Structure 1
């Protein structure tokens, strides 16, 4: 036997494509060459494979070995092809079960001593293998936890290359090596922060519940110490748990980011990048392999931009397309990747650089030009995509005991769950389930309220106080307000509440 075949996975974002790994022997001077559009890291696999085989007592044929990665037009990057290349090359001698090798997907990097080292993106790779019809996969022992999250897959978690060879019916007298241990997974399931700890911001808490119930984007403006960050960090705690599909998507993005994934977390993610973050850190990127940014990591959860007025304009404007489409498309030289971007955006900002402009009792020392420059960083097109625009003031009196206690996290979570159930029943015959996902054509069409109810919005639209996109967003918020109130249809009061939540607008 001179030609052997197995499978690997090439990732482009969360999408994985199966790669046919073929190895062929020819009667020439011993050489190891890889063809099929490999990058530099993959082109160096030949050296890692030779050393790993030699150190595990596995004899590669002393002939020219050509490894082809098909389809050749598909870009292939990274060291995750090492195990597949090594197994295909060793299988050319006929020492392993050819049918078993050809039916197995191999993922992992090889160390020079023959150990299998973990690689990022194992979870989406195994998902791609399953969707392509494969049922057997070999992964490094350190990646076993995330590979086993995919139901219906036979997972071989190997510590070294010799184990893989024996698993395929080959023989190897090499002893066992201590496997590479997985890194400690970060904690994503900390107890939710208590909403009742928020003091004196009843309107802000109510707005936060509306945002959670409908999946709406939110802007909070106010002086330092008003509680903007405190409120934002309590939003994930009142959101519903992730369903299976959302939890798998979140875990896949974390796997691509290099995190250790051992189980599907049901807690919505929370990302809060520093205001000095670059556009690439926010939307994703990198040379060679396109890594997910904060937008993708926040998908199905909350993206919180604290000190929003300090972010560069180019970084903030990069949010505009993902906010509309729910996806982020990245194009680099020779590679394109698509990541999910179904996040709730929460921006907190001060009214001016010193934070005292318009604050009762405050003294602002900023020049008018500095105030205009600061506020203009949040561009009109970005603000038009914000559903709830809330102005906060400093708390004038501290609460004592349980006097005027705010709603608790548990109570708010129950309200949000009930409102989302009402919305899901209303949109049951449509592709969406949240009010924030409903398109304007539907809101102004089959789900349109009566003319009398819409009169305040129509008036604001004629006056130029609203764009048509803002009109649709107000209808979405009004539906959420109606769901919380238990209304079967939008009322004038629901419209009025939605207008108030958009920077206290009035008709």
Structure 2
């Protein structure tokens, strides 16, 4: 007796169809699973055996061989439980529906026959749809998450008995559907608003430029100057997520097991890890590789408060994802890639005590202590940060003012207009904002007139800028011109952009 059913396993965010071949033959009652299964799949033998019995079905006392094809691909995850159980029940004739070629099964079995929720269900469903599967059986608790995907029927089941009755046409379970349009409703209004911020107009402007062009930003200032408060409001002025962006973020959170009540993430992520974080937690990894903070911040904001407090080796691992927009994790058995296109936002004090350059409070740090403190941040990492801005403490006059600050809604309107200009400009390129411009793109889209060239030469000579910093200035000037709705970069745009690059030379030269 031979049966074949389909399931799926994940490698990173990519799913691969696995054909579960079940052979039941005469001989000693042995239950073997072959085809490079991991420990969780080998343990499924006892879960499957007990679940079938406790669901009221007979478990065959024969030689059972399960082959997970292709045998060259390592299989991980308990979501194969359901397909193994269905394969056995199909081979014994308990399930009478023989045509399951366009159907797939994912789910973990408990000992009483219930089908438990799994992590990573969404990317599994997307991969199955892309590979021609028309119908998929999923755990009932995964139904909303899986129903986001269109053009595939998602059948939610609660237990093994219910599934067998459905496959034998004794009961009918309709595909689960949700209205995706109702999920996107003014998500940006749920963030903290810029109107709550008193003063710090220069920092607000820098945040607007960063949001408009997707630029990374470093904020330097004394304690209590509002660095963290303003950084946490950055998502409120970013453009709203598209459905495709939302789907990609949700896939990452699904794999990480972080989808709770939100089966579709419609808000841009804001991740703020503690400075004690390890490099594996930041970029991803572990014995069973999982997405790290850089991937959880995909299409959102990664905020590192008190940047020099992070371990230097931890900060250095950020360089590759900041440059490439993805993270590659290599293991003996596989190489996994997770997306990591995030806006990097960091804040820091100018010295260990925080009062270097403060006109009111005296700095108690020695020059050696300051150099050691600032030396924790390498030049190559700084060159990957587009905007460096210094802020001062907010004056009492500004704190006590009754004048309302500009709202996030009005700032976001300008940001959206600038982003639309960039999307139209780069419609034939594989980029969507100025921060993604390559050196070749900069030569094409960031041309300077004679006045701008002269200003740039002076800045380059006086500030000792690197080649990467030179390119960052041109990208920033392009963004500022877009906010100003100007087709060409003008002197005032370039001058403002240069201001956002001078701080690293002040502190790190």
Relative to the length of structure 1, the TM-score reads 0.92
Deviation at 1:337, TM superposition (A): 1.3
SS at match of 2:33: strand
Q: Structure 1 190/82 Cα, relative in aligned 2: closer, same or farther at 3 Å?
A: farther
- CA, structure 1 residues 241+199, in 2 after alignment: closer, same or farther (shift >3 Å)? same
Which shows bigger deviation, 262-271 or 2-11?
A: 262-271
Q: Distance in 1 between matches of 2:142 and 2:160?
A: 15
Give, in whole Å, the separation in 1 of the partners of 2:130 and 2:16: 10
**Deviation readout 1:363-418 (Å, 9 max, x if unpaired):** 22233332222111111000000100001111122436765543211111111011
Does the CA contact (< 8 Å) of 1:5 and 1:23 recur in 2? Answer: yes
Alignment of 1:45-194 (within 5 A): 45-169=44-168, 191-194=190-193
Kept after mapping to 2: 8 A contact 1:199/1:398: no
1:464 deviation in Å? 6.9
- Does residue 1:318 correspond to 2:323, yes or no? no
The question of 1:20 aligning with 2:29 is answered: no
The aligned counterpart of 2:179 is none
Q: 2:36 and 2:365 mapped to 1: Cα distance?
A: 56
1:91–1:306: structure 2 CA closer, same or farther, 3 Å change rule? Answer: same
CA shift digits 1:52-91 (9 cap, x unpaired): 0010011222111111111112121121111011111111
- Tell me if structure 2 keeps the 8 A contact 1:30–1:64: yes
Output the CA distance in 2 between the equivalents of 1:379 and 1:438. Answer: 23
Write the mapping of 1:143-292 to structure 2, written as runs, cut at 5 A: 143-169=142-168, 191-258=190-257, 259-260=259-260, 262-287=262-287, 289-292=288-291
Map residues 448-467 of structure 1 onto 2, 5 A cutoff: 448-461=447-460, 465-467=464-466
Which residue is 1:182 aligned to?
A: none
After TM superposition, give the deviation of residue 494 of structure 1 in Å. Answer: 0.7
Structure 1 equivalent of residue 480 of structure 2? 481
Following the alignment from structure 1 to structure 2, what is the Cα–Cα distance between the partners of residues 374 and 193?
32
Structure 1 residues 54, 353: closer, same or farther in 2, change over 3 A?
Answer: same
Counterpart CA distance in 2 for 1:418 and 1:274 is 34
CA contact (8 A) 1:285 1:330 kept: yes
Deviation at 1:451, TM superposition (A): 4.4
Please give the secondary structure, in 2, of the residue aligned with 1:381. helix
Shift of residue 438, structure 1, vs aligned partner? 1.8
Task: State the 1:170 CA deviation.
Answer: 7.3
Deviation, 1:487, is 0.7
Partner residue, 1:444? 443
Rounded to whole Å, the distance in 2 between the matches of 1:169 and 1:398 is 76
Deviations 1:463-490 (A, max 9, x none): 6722222211111111110011111111
Deviates more, 1:400-409 or 1:149-158: 400-409
**Are 2:469 and 2:501, in contact at CA under 8 Å, matched by a contact in 1?**
no
In 2, Cα distance between the equivalents of 1:318 and 1:141? 39
Aligned pairs for 1:30-41 within 5 A: 30-41=29-40
Q: What is the root-mean-square deviation in Å for CA atoms of aligned residues?
A: 2.0
- Deviates most, 88-97 or 34-43: 88-97
Aligned 8 A contact 2:210 2:387 in 1: yes
1:349 is matched with 348
d(CA) in 2 for partners of 1:382 and 1:400? Answer: 34
2:473 and 2:347 mapped to 1: Cα distance? Answer: 20
Query: Which stretch shifts more, 73-82 or 201-210?
Result: 73-82
Distance in structure 1 (CA, Å) of the matches to 2:30 and 2:169: 23
SS in 1 for 2:298: coil
Q: 1:16, 1:128 within 8 Å by CA — same for their partners in 2?
A: yes
Quick one: structure 1 residues 232 and 262, their matched pair in 2 at CA, closer, same or farther if it must change by over 3 Å?
closer
Could you say what secondary structure the match of 1:81 adopts? helix
- CA-to-partner distance for each residue in 1:411-459, whole Å, 9 max, x for gaps? 1111101111111222222221211112121111354233442333344
Task: Structure 2: give runs of 5+ residues left out of the alignment.
Answer: 172-186
